[in-house]
Structure 1
Amino acid sequence: MAELQGTQDDRFDGLRRLLQANLDSGEELGASLVVDLDGEVLVDVWGGFRDPARTTAWDEHTIVNVWSTTKTVTALAALMLVDRGLLDVDAPVARYWPDFAAAGKQDVPVRALLAHTSGVSGLDRPAVLEDLYDAERAAARMAAQAPWWEPGTASGYHALNFGHLLGELIRRVDGRTLTAFVAEEIAGPLDADFTLGAPEKDWGRIAEVVPPPPLPFDLEAAGLESPMVRTLTGPPAEAAAANTDAWRRAEIGGANGHGNARSVARILSTISRGGRGLLSPATIDLIFREQAHGVDLVLGVPLRWGIGFGLPETTTLPYIPDRRICFWGGWGGSMIVMDLDRRLTVSYMMNRMAPGIIGSDRSAAYLTEIYRVVEAS
């Protein structure tokens, strides 16, 4: 048994017991959880193990591949360029990246990349995961493709290529790679232990990802040419790839960020707390401009997208209150929730992946307990 480390306000003793029980039962292998209320860290706990053999404890400095929670940092990077007047969310992508105009995409706006409505949610087949490891080459392939549905008419989750599209846009506008921009403009200034990919010096403290059961998608029934099948096979996701050297060396701005609950909260609490010098109130308001609300063409469930972030959709995620909240999470259950009304940030990162892509029973239980405490205070 591994006892949780860290601290929490006494009001969150129930939350600590819940996480400890999941560690004791084996539902969790290793995890970290942070609750930040307007800059006051009320919960900062971690525990469990980095490896399935339970030989190495998850300690304060453990990091893990956070899957699609990475997208929130990538979206923040793009919005910082919007805030600086270097990007216009309503301008065509092709204004900044002329090659993207190919195959009828000349009018697709920047906000479509941020809201998963561009029609380019993966690589045309044949595609293998290794094709994504060269970010510039992969982005060039995406720019040349025709959209898989009419852009702007619906969302289709950009599962693995979200960061390739926005990363190339950032590179064209700023001159730096997405990896460098995040390091120099976000993680460094905020003293946040977060990187895209992971430098070799950090590999020894990375928690091993434990893959979940197979994804619950009936690809044959969906149709081979559907956006769902084309996305999930262009290329197929392989959870165990996160434990490889090649994955850690790559720039996959939609899926291979490495951090922990503390570092992700430190970064994204900038939104909950009014921008903190990275974003103006006007740019934060852009996040809440609804871009799509309906059944996502890739994930097959109702989702609601603003510009860069998910917005509450209680049909699919009833545990996220329907208020001025933006959020997203990672494959297997990691999550980052920014509640602007309460100036509240909740961050949860773990290494044993649960079934499904959007949230998990564990993340739902933690967030429900957190709101029970916050709303009673």
Structure 2
Amino acid sequence: MSEIHGWCEPRFDAVREAFQRNFDEGRELGASVTVYQRGRAVVDLWGGRAGAGTAWERDTITLLASATKGLVAAAAMLLVDRGLLDLDTPIAAYWPEFAAGGKADIPLRWVLGHRSGVVTVDPPLTLLDLEGGTAVSEALAAAVPAWQPGRAHGYHCLTMGWLVGEVVQRVTGMSVQRFFAKEIAGPLGLDLHIGLPDARERRLADLVPPTAEQLLQGRANPELADLNQAICDPASLFHRSTFGSIALAGNPLAAASLPQAGIPSCGGAGNAAGLARMYAALVGDVDGIRLLRPETADRARTVEASGMDLVLRCRTSYGRGFMLPGGPMWPGECSPTAFGHPGVTGVFAYADPDHELGFAYVPNRMTELITGGDDRVRRLVEATHRCACT
């Protein structure tokens, strides 16, 4: 049995039990889970191994994959809250070059809600392109939507972070990475980053992919059958928007590439303590800091798109940059007002304004579901919801 460290309030003992059970059943290598309620931590647990012979410590961090989109969305909505961005204003008003290719009327909310159709980059971007930055913005400005903007929705696997990041840069003069660090992570004291300055950071946990047996179990999920088929089809929108849009060695979503590439859609790093604290500050006061006014938090979770996702080929629901409950992407029963984001590393984090919750779970054994949201986090989310409602 792995020893669990940290603490939780007695009212949330079911979360500790669920966390321990994940380790006892051999589902975990190392992980952390943190819950905030009404502005203070009520659960802060960690355990297991960060790497060979290395224990998972309270300050261990790991790569966040697509959960990074939640950080980008928080930055965008903070600028909306301050009146510097408008959800209904066409992106071309901030970034004139973006109007090319039939994109002149795409508002910011269509990108945040995965409705813009700008999901692929052709030819694929190289590591040199990503490091330079200019080539990325030029490629996105020249891109042609994969469907008529606003008429459908599909997960912007890589492009969401780049598109929003360019708008943030145009409005603030700062990269989205720097803006997040200065305006969100810094004031809240978060060990949370869009990108990672040093990929050799000693506190960074080793990510371990699922075994072949675990992958087979994940692919047995009938709701994800079409997605699993699309992964292997070079003509599919999923394949074209991931493997076909970025020319990194091996899997473009592989953890080793992300810190170096600094992709704002999937290259973040942090721990559960930082993620939970950020989400808590989106819906309530945390040590005197509230990131969004209540009406702006409501706009962040307002349904922008729901139904069949043209890229992921399953049911999804999106607010403004955040995923919403419903469909196989969202793990477990919780408040219908919740909003957050998963990642293929297994990470999941969300805010629940009904119960003033911020929740985050960060493991280093990657999920067998490419979308995240496996049984480990499902039982933690459901235990948290039960405890919060008592």
- Label 1:333 to 1:130 Cα distance change in 2 as closer, same or farther (>3 A): farther
Question: Does 2:380 align with 1:366?
Answer: yes
Contact 1:30-1:50 within 8 A present in 2 as well: yes
Question: Does 2:47 align with 1:47?
Answer: yes
Partner residue of 1:324? Answer: 337
In structure 2, C-alpha distance between the alignment counterparts of 1:63 and 1:200, rounded to whole Å: 12
Question: Does 2:331 align with 1:333?
Answer: no
Could you list the per-position Cα deviations for residues 192-222 of structure 1 after superposition, in whole angstroms to 9, with x for gaps in the alignment?
Answer: 1111222229711100111236686213886
Worse-matched range after superposition: 151-160 or 306-315: 306-315
In structure 2, C-alpha distance between the alignment counterparts of 1:22 and 1:239, rounded to whole Å: 29
Contact 1:128-1:235 within 8 A present in 2 as well: no
Matches within 5 A, 1:81-230: 81-127=79-125, 131-200=129-198, 203-212=201-210, 217-219=228-230, 224=235, 226-230=236-240
In structure 1, C-alpha distance between the alignment counterparts of 2:359 and 2:234, rounded to whole Å: 38
Could you list the per-position Cα deviations for residues 57-100 of structure 1 after superposition, in whole angstroms to 9, with x for gaps in the alignment?
Answer: 01011000011111111001011111221111101000001111
Superposed displacement of residue 191, structure 1? 0.5
In structure 1, C-alpha distance between the alignment counterparts of 2:254 and 2:133, rounded to whole Å: 16
Residue identity opposite 2:363 in structure 1? M
Residue identity opposite 1:278 in structure 2? L
Question: Does 2:303 align with 1:290?
Answer: yes
Residue identity opposite 1:360 in structure 2? D
- The alignment covers a number of residue pairs equal to 371
In structure 1, C-alpha distance between the alignment counterparts of 2:22 and 2:104, rounded to whole Å: 49
Question: Does 2:264 align with 1:253?
Answer: yes
Could you list the per-position Cα deviations for residues 217-259 of structure 1 after superposition, in whole angstroms to 9, with x for gaps in the alignment?
Answer: 21388671x4233213333683774235xx3243311111111
- Label 1:320 to 1:121 Cα distance change in 2 as closer, same or farther (>3 A): farther
Secondary structure, aligned partner of 1:41: strand
Residue identity opposite 1:234 in structure 2? G
- Label 1:256 to 1:220 Cα distance change in 2 as closer, same or farther (>3 A): closer
In structure 2, C-alpha distance between the alignment counterparts of 1:201 and 1:222, rounded to whole Å: 31
Contact 1:136-1:168 within 8 A present in 2 as well: no
* Structure 2, unpaired ranges of 5+: 220-226
Superposed displacement of residue 131, structure 1? 4.8
In structure 1, C-alpha distance between the alignment counterparts of 2:88 and 2:118, rounded to whole Å: 17
- Label 1:223 to 1:251 Cα distance change in 2 as closer, same or farther (>3 A): closer
Q: What is the percentage of aligned positions where both structures have the same residue?
A: 39
* Structure 1, unpaired ranges of 5+: none
Secondary structure, aligned partner of 1:278: coil
- Label 1:76 to 1:220 Cα distance change in 2 as closer, same or farther (>3 A): closer
Contact 1:210-1:240 within 8 A present in 2 as well: no
Secondary structure, aligned partner of 2:157: coil
Aligned to 2:282, which of 271, 275, 280? 271
In structure 1, C-alpha distance between the alignment counterparts of 2:312 and 2:209, rounded to whole Å: 19
Superposed displacement of residue 133, structure 1? 4.5
Give the structure-1-normalised TM-score: 0.91
Partner residue of 2:3? Answer: 3
Could you list the per-position Cα deviations for residues 131-157 of structure 1 after superposition, in whole angstroms to 9, with x for gaps in the alignment?
Answer: 544444223211111101111122211
CA-atom RMSD in angstroms = 2.4
Partner residue of 2:222? Answer: none
Partner residue of 2:224? Answer: none
- Label 1:221 to 1:33 Cα distance change in 2 as closer, same or farther (>3 A): closer
